[in-house]
A and B are shown apart, each in its own frame.
Chain A
């Protein structure tokens, strides 16, 4: 038995819009801790990890750990039927093969039930170890989205390098090159407009812009974005969801010339 009541129903819509481009089908995991999802894109280059903590829900009931296999496009179709101010309740009975989304209008004069079929999804769950990152950049999410969009009109990949001076995004394409430097800037009126660079070691990593651009679909979720980089690790692009959790995107870097050995498969 599962019953989750979210007053700010539009949040769920935004969450879904942020991950739908990257992943088609995914298992939503439910536990006493919260409502979460971990899924990789089909090429296993990017991963999305979502967490909505139980405290963020007005009512949260989950009797046991369980997962629901959902086609995200279909779920998005249903959620788009909810009004922006609607309260959304997610309900599922044990052993049932459907999940119900209930939308209540703020004035309580309209209640809609949408029942969606669940599916069996064989997904691999990856263990993501805690890591100390060499550099962490926090910046306005809209600014990051703009940079990714602009650079992808020039090239396919972005080199993100962090030095003491700030963070540099560069690309190279057939028509030329582009470099955008964002300096540390904390003297702004609103804290969400600040650019904060924390660095233990300089890093420089190359990523496919295609994925970065799809991560920025999460921009409506948060005013700021946090980018954590380490030389040997996938980048983490995190959008915090106020008082509830986060959407984190992990992206494997491009590897310079590849004479790497095939790792023995367990």
Chain B
């Protein structure tokens, strides 16, 4: 398939409905990435032990929010899924891959159209400690390349698909292309001195953005106050955005940030090996029991658990706590501006073989979206308040475990209720069905003390919410 054909097919088959949203692509193949990167098993650990820290939100609800996105992770995803079939990928006339551009372009437009203000953060120099992990990834890729050769020889379609995805690597060229594209689109780009997740977290801590979006749970270890997953998933999958709050995580796990970092290191991070036989759950128990890795090491049964000879956990901890990031306002230069129309057409249509009509339409969308982002959010006027009501629906046993307080409240209410409800059973039998609207309802409603009713009347009037002159 030539580049033109590929593009044409791509547009004809995949884009007619949502123009530039990749409605038909599946990210299912990506489930491997979160398992391979970041903190092992952290999502499940949090779901089980700090369920209040996770919340599902609709994509639309991030309207008007500034969000820092880990660019490398997104580009990797695009290279894997956008316009791929077997070893064929979306390319321009020169045969260079353009999947990342297509993905970045359409997905960013989807964010802009939703009124979200994205900010992309690119990786810089990886820290020394990560080199080991990177070497592992390199060798996995090498294995996959071999596997791919074998699969092609054997013409095994399934294996070709599998291995070719595993050989994907985000190169400097891919990064540079995307940076250029984003700048032309008027979307700010931040180049992290080191790890992108760390830079994202720093931006979020400084209040420059509302949240960090990535699939890499590292962001939490770096202390991002709010962390989003699935923000970049295609709309077709209808996966709600999962929002994590670090404050609630620490509250739920009953830990300090230092202990949480230790927990992540023990669970297995990118910077150093973990102790054989200790997974997330054991790590959680150990931290709760001993408080820090140092104390755990003192008390750990060395017969049972082998601590790696070279285990730079202190260095890993330092990288999480004090990563190299940029904080200077001038260096960051975060501004959302109007798209460079001519620049986009030259870059996408002339240099990379994109369909000119589609690009023109997409530019119109960017401009229209710019207008939309001026819509205010209610939260900037009204502050969250506690709702005094208790859900009538008693939650299942799982929820009772979530926190101790509500379960006590429930018990209290149910006690009160059973005490009060007895006389009402009679009323319930006689009142509604047989004597509706008759005298019987009067004594029943009069059961509330009279002065109490008056008081509520006053309250109802008082709570009118706003004054008229």
* B-binding residues in A (CB < 8 A): 1-3, 5, 7, 27, 29-34, 38, 40, 42-47, 49, 51, 53-55, 58-61, 63-69, 87, 89, 92, 94-97, 99, 102, 104, 108, 111, 118-120, 122-133, 136, 198, 200, 208, 228, 232-234, 236, 245, 248, 250, 252-258, 262-265
Given A29-B387, A250-B378, A262-B207, the answer on whether A43 and B60 have CB atoms closer than 8 Å is yes
A29 engages B389 (CB within 8 Å): yes
How many A-B residue pairs have C-beta atoms within 8 angstroms? Tell me.
207
* A-binding residues in B (CB < 8 A): 55, 58, 60-61, 63, 66, 115, 207-210, 225-226, 373-395, 399, 410, 413-414, 416-417, 420-421, 424, 428, 431-433, 436-437, 441, 444-445, 447-448, 452-453, 456-457, 459-460, 463, 465-469
Please report the C-alpha to C-alpha distance between residue A28 and residue B427 in the assembled complex, in whole angstroms.
25
Given A49-B465, A59-B441, the answer on whether A66 and B392 have CB atoms closer than 8 Å is yes
Please tell me which one of the listed residues A44, A53, A59, A265 contacts residue B460 in the complex, with CB atoms under 8 A apart: A53
B459 engages A254 (CB within 8 Å): no
27 A-B contact pairs sorted by A residue (CB < 8 Å)? A1-B420, A31-B388, A31-B389, A33-B459, A43-B61, A45-B377, A46-B378, A64-B390, A65-B390, A66-B391, A97-B393, A108-B436, A118-B392, A120-B393, A124-B384, A125-B386, A126-B378, A126-B384, A127-B382, A228-B466, A234-B382, A248-B465, A252-B376, A252-B380, A262-B208, A263-B380, A265-B225
Given A130-B465, A200-B469, A265-B210, the answer on whether A44 and B377 have CB atoms closer than 8 Å is yes
Given contacts A32-B452, A64-B416, 15 further A-B contacts (CB under 8 A): A1-B421, A3-B432, A5-B432, A27-B389, A43-B375, A60-B445, A64-B417, A95-B392, A120-B393, A125-B384, A125-B386, A131-B467, A254-B375, A255-B376, A258-B373
Please report the C-alpha to C-alpha distance between residue A131 and residue B464 in the assembled complex, in whole angstroms.
11
A125 engages B385 (CB within 8 Å): yes
User: In angstroms, how far is the closest chain B Cβ from the Cβ of A95?
Assistant: 4
Which B residues are in CB contact (< 8 Å) with A61? Answer: 424, 444-445, 447-448
B207 engages A265 (CB within 8 Å): yes
Which A residues are in CB contact (< 8 Å) with B381? Answer: 232-234, 252
Which A residues are in CB contact (< 8 Å) with B226? Answer: 265
Please report the C-alpha to C-alpha distance between residue A58 and residue B440 in the assembled complex, in whole angstroms.
12
A44 engages B378 (CB within 8 Å): yes
Please tell me which one of the listed residues B58, B385, B391, B420 contacts residue A126 in the complex, with CB atoms under 8 A apart: B385
B432 engages A33 (CB within 8 Å): no
Which A residues are in CB contact (< 8 Å) with B420? Answer: 1, 63
Which A residues are in CB contact (< 8 Å) with B417? Answer: 1, 63-64, 94-95
A126 engages B390 (CB within 8 Å): no
User: In angstroms, how far is the closest chain A Cβ from the Cβ of B335?
Assistant: 9
Which A residues are in CB contact (< 8 Å) with B225? Answer: 265
A68 engages B392 (CB within 8 Å): yes
Please report the C-alpha to C-alpha distance between residue A49 and residue B378 in the assembled complex, in whole angstroms.
13
A30 engages B432 (CB within 8 Å): no
Which A residues are in CB contact (< 8 Å) with B469? Answer: 132, 136, 198, 200
Please tell me which one of the listed residues A27, A102, A248, A265 contacts residue B432 in the complex, with CB atoms under 8 A apart: A102
Please report the C-alpha to C-alpha distance between residue A32 and residue B458 in the assembled complex, in whole angstroms.
12
User: In angstroms, how far is the closest chain B Cβ from the Cβ of A83?
Assistant: 14
User: In angstroms, how far is the closest chain A Cβ from the Cβ of B28?
Assistant: 26
Please tell me which one of the listed residues B207, B378, B384, B424 contacts residue A252 in the complex, with CB atoms under 8 A apart: B378
Pick from B226, B417, B447 the residue with the most CB of A within 10 Å: B417
Please report the C-alpha to C-alpha distance between residue A40 and residue B226 in the assembled complex, in whole angstroms.
21
A130 engages B466 (CB within 8 Å): yes
Which A residues are in CB contact (< 8 Å) with B467? Answer: 130-132
Chain A: CB-nearest residue to B389: A67
Chain B: CB-nearest residue to A92: B392
Please report the C-alpha to C-alpha distance between residue A89 and residue B444 in the assembled complex, in whole angstroms.
15
Pick from B380, B437, B460 the residue with the most CB of A within 10 Å: B460
B377 engages A119 (CB within 8 Å): no
Please report the C-alpha to C-alpha distance between residue A132 and residue B468 in the assembled complex, in whole angstroms.
7
Please report the C-alpha to C-alpha distance between residue A48 and residue B379 in the assembled complex, in whole angstroms.
14
User: In angstroms, how far is the closest chain A Cβ from the Cβ of B71?
Assistant: 20
B376 engages A127 (CB within 8 Å): no
Which B residues are in CB contact (< 8 Å) with A65? Answer: 388-390
User: In angstroms, how far is the closest chain B Cβ from the Cβ of A180?
Assistant: 22
Please report the C-alpha to C-alpha distance between residue A58 and residue B442 in the assembled complex, in whole angstroms.
9
Chain A: CB-nearest residue to B59: A42
A257 engages B374 (CB within 8 Å): yes
B375 engages A95 (CB within 8 Å): no
User: In angstroms, how far is the closest chain A Cβ from the Cβ of B324?
Assistant: 23
Chain A: CB-nearest residue to B442: A59
A55 engages B460 (CB within 8 Å): yes
Given A118-B392, A120-B393, the answer on whether A45 and B207 have CB atoms closer than 8 Å is no
Please report the C-alpha to C-alpha distance between residue A220 and residue B71 in the assembled complex, in whole angstroms.
50
Which B residues are in CB contact (< 8 Å) with A126? Answer: 378-379, 382-385
Given A42-B61, A94-B417, the answer on whether A87 and B379 have CB atoms closer than 8 Å is no
User: In angstroms, how far is the closest chain B Cβ from the Cβ of A235?
Assistant: 11
User: In angstroms, how far is the closest chain B Cβ from the Cβ of A112?
Assistant: 11
User: In angstroms, how far is the closest chain B Cβ from the Cβ of A41?
Assistant: 9
Which B residues are in CB contact (< 8 Å) with A248? Answer: 465
Chain B: CB-nearest residue to A208: B375
Please report the C-alpha to C-alpha distance between residue A87 and residue B441 in the assembled complex, in whole angstroms.
14
Please report the C-alpha to C-alpha distance between residue A65 and residue B388 in the assembled complex, in whole angstroms.
7
Which B residues are in CB contact (< 8 Å) with A228? Answer: 466
Which A residues are in CB contact (< 8 Å) with B63? Answer: 43-45
Chain A: CB-nearest residue to B115: A43
Which B residues are in CB contact (< 8 Å) with A60? Answer: 445
Please report the C-alpha to C-alpha distance between residue A254 and residue B444 in the assembled complex, in whole angstroms.
50
Please report the C-alpha to C-alpha distance between residue A132 and residue B386 in the assembled complex, in whole angstroms.
23
Please report the C-alpha to C-alpha distance between residue A50 and residue B59 in the assembled complex, in whole angstroms.
26
A133 engages B466 (CB within 8 Å): yes
User: In angstroms, how far is the closest chain B Cβ from the Cβ of A105?
Assistant: 10
Please report the C-alpha to C-alpha distance between residue A68 and residue B375 in the assembled complex, in whole angstroms.
31
Chain A: CB-nearest residue to B379: A44
Chain A: CB-nearest residue to B388: A65
User: In angstroms, how far is the closest chain B Cβ from the Cβ of A245?
Assistant: 8
Q: Which 6 A-B pairs have the closest CB atoms?
A: A127-B385, A67-B389, A252-B376, A125-B387, A126-B382, A264-B207
A67 engages B61 (CB within 8 Å): no
Given A63-B417, A265-B207, the answer on whether A69 and B391 have CB atoms closer than 8 Å is yes
